[in-house]
Amino acid sequence: MLRVIEWKRTTTQYVAILQVADRFEPNSIRELERRGAETILGGTLRGTTQTDWYALAYDRRELEFEEAREMARNTLERYREQQRRP
């Protein structure tokens, strides 16, 4: 089950790290989806062809940190719901 394992801040984004980068094939992490102030980053899991989420990034010019945390919680809940569906 994905959860935020670490928050990082860049000059332009709050980044919620969901999995360690070592779980992914080298150079496979990329933008998967962008929705407003939120960007989903993902990559190919090592030794597979499966794509999974690596991190969620939020634009610091549009959101405060607490807003980014709330959005991350909501996005992860949607991810979990999708994973439960057959």
pLDDT confidence of residue 86? 67
Residues sharing a CB contact under 8 Å with residue 65, sequence separation 6 or more, in sequence order: 14
Residues sharing a CB contact under 8 Å with residue 37, sequence separation 6 or more, in sequence order: 58, 59, 62, 63, 71
Residues sharing a CB contact under 8 Å with residue 24, sequence separation 6 or more, in sequence order: 43, 44, 45, 46, 52, 54
- CA torsion, points 6, 39, 49, 21, in degrees to nearest 10? -20
pLDDT confidence of residue 15? 98
At 25-45, the pLDDT tens digits run 999 999 999 999 999 999 999
79 versus 64: which is more confidently predicted? 64
86 versus 76: which is more confidently predicted? 76
